[in-house]
Amino acid sequence: MQLFNNLFQNLTDDEKNDYLFHLLENNQTLRSDFIRHFEDNYEKLRLNTELQFLPEETIIAIIDKAEGITEILEELDFEETDWDRWKGSDHYVPDYEVAQIVAEDEATEVFEDFDFNLKMVLQTGNLLDIIRDFTAIFHGISCAEINDPYSNLGDPANDFFIDETKKIIKGNQQNLANRTFNPIDYKNATALAFHFNNQYYKDENEYLQFISDILIAVVKDKTQAMIVWEAKQKFNVGLNAVPNLLNKVTKLIGDKKIWIESLESCFLQDFETSKELMDYYHSNESNKFEKSALGLYGKFYLQALEYLLDKVIVGTPFHVGLLKKNASHKGDVDSFEKLKRQITPEDIVPFIESLGNNDTKAKFYAHEKLYDKIVELINNTYFKELNSYYSINFDKAVQYLFAERPLIAWEMIKKDIVHKMTNLRSRGTYSEIASMLKKAKKIEGMEENIRRLTSELYNQKPNLPALKDEFRKAGLMI
């Protein structure tokens, strides 16, 4: 150490600076640590330095970097599974799943170098640097012909790497939103994004949708929003392909007319922005709300159901239709009761019969005390083809009959048990039978019948050790 100290002291400042600069220039990790150590100095310089922006030269640099990324990805080969990567599992995993896991592991490993550099530019780069580097990786990935004939990474495989890049943006959006960039940087970065879009992705939306997550995070006030809006007009970029960005920019601009026209231009492309426009219509232009409601429901269905039910005129055919869809989808009694208040008693049974889900049918029949309908439903579904046990949840449906149709309920349970014991013997079957017999104890007046059948099954010859074990575990036998 003494010799090193002597050497260091004998070197000139220029020699030491040259060596330090060489190290930092060629090592991203060291350079990043250096920037972090002198973060305050770096930020002052960054915010007060007007970097030269030459669009065509910048795009050439992007293409050059993208070609390098494409080359790396095209060297990958997912046609043959690298079984040495598989570390095994404590349960059976099919070969095709192993192939997918191994492919993703290899792809993630390759992506690590990209990951580090992209995170660093998000944390320390100018906005122009960020747009430049993320544009390069998007373009490089998009242009790659990745050898993945069995779609182990997905179809296409490129989407795996695009999604990994999006995760980096999403994971750093809040930090990005907290950063500061000067107005010239906003102008240059936006111009680069829109220029590149027009040159390479003008008739597609994928690039704009990809890069919009960055712009959404960094546009925070009217001045910045106006920069994006003016660039949109200059480059004639259709931001209606990115509703969330368009919504944020026009909101910050503060011109109600521009905001409404913008959201109308992308209506039904995104639920949240469409809902904001519908909120405005509901408060200010009710006729437009009514005209647009059906379109919102048709496009977004389940997302739109609850929203529209709170806003459409109660009792209208559209409102009743929504109530029916909501009751059918949710299958809960509260939704059903809301519907009942809007339809005639004569329409209740036809509505229940129209449902596609037999479990929901049974529940609503029970709520209406239509027990004979439940009996009919079970017979026409569960017992119609005894080898098909997925048409209705028999365990739940039959319990609706325990209090009001006890004898029928018990006969159904017995029939089900006889069928299972004849055709479906296994430990799983015995567990189901034990569970059903335990539930059947709630049927008043059937205690002796249940005890007798339980005993017969338990003591039958030849012995069934698995059945005995399941009955004991269920507390049916001591």
Instruction: Tell me if 271 is assigned to some domain.
Output: no
Interval 42-51 mean pLDDT: 66
- In the predicted model, is pLDDT for residue 7 greater than 80? no
Residue 226 reports pLDDT greater than 80: yes
Rounded to an integer, the average pLDDT of 58-78 is: 93
| Residue 21 included in any domain | no
Asked whether residue 66 is domain-assigned, the answer is yes
- Which of 237, 264, 296 represents a domain boundary (last residue)? 237
pLDDT at residue 124, rounded to an integer: 84
220 and 365 housed in the same domain:
no
In this prediction, residue 387 carries a pLDDT of 45
Q: Is 43 part of any domain?
A: no
> Within 13 Å, how many C-alpha atoms sit on residue 109's CB side?
8
Q: Prior bond to 55 cis, omega within 30? A: no
Distance of alpha carbon 101 from alpha carbon 115, whole angstroms: 19
Residues 89, 226, single domain; the answer is yes
Residue 462 lies in a domain: yes
State the average pLDDT over residues 386-412. Answer: 85
Per-range mean pLDDT, top range of 120-124, 276-280, 460-464: 276-280
User: Which pLDDT does position 219 carry in this prediction?
Assistant: 96
More reliable by pLDDT, 355 or 461: 355
Model confidence over 400-447: pLDDT tens digits? 999 999 999 999 999 999 988 888 888 888 899 999 999 999 999 888
Least confident of 168-177, 209-218, 242-251: 168-177
For 160-174, give one letter per residue: b (16+ CB within 10 A) or e. Answer: bbbebbbebbeebbe
457 with 467: CB under 8 angstroms?
Answer: yes
> How many domains does the chain divide into?
2
Model confidence at 389: pLDDT above 60: no
Q: Is residue 348 part of a domain?
A: no
Q: Are residues 69 and 201 in the same domain?
A: yes
CA distance readout (Å), 461 to 172, 448, 457, 465 = 68, 22, 9, 11
With 0-12 / 13-18 / 19 or more C-beta atoms within 10 angstroms meaning exposed / middle / buried, residue 119 is middle
Q: Which of these three, 206, 237, 268, is where a domain ends?
A: 237
Distance between the two ends of the chain, CA-based, in angstroms?
80
The pTM (predicted TM-score) of the whole model is 0.77
What's the pLDDT band for 123 if we cut at 50, 70, 90?
Answer: confident
Output the average pLDDT for the chain: 88
Q: What is the pLDDT of residue 404?
A: 93
Rounded Cα–Cα distance for residues 219 and 214 (Å)? 9
Same domain, 58 and 196: yes
pLDDT grade, residue 83 (50/70/90)?
confident
Which range of residues forms the domain containing residue 81? 50-237
Q: Does any domain span residue 428? A: yes
Does residue 148 lie within any of the structural domains? Answer: yes
Single out the residue in 201, 216, 237 at which a domain terminates: 237
In terms of pLDDT, which residue wins out, 336 or 120?
336
Q: Does residue 91 have a pLDDT over 80? A: no
What would you report as the CA-atom Rg of the chain, rounded to the nearest whole angstrom? 33
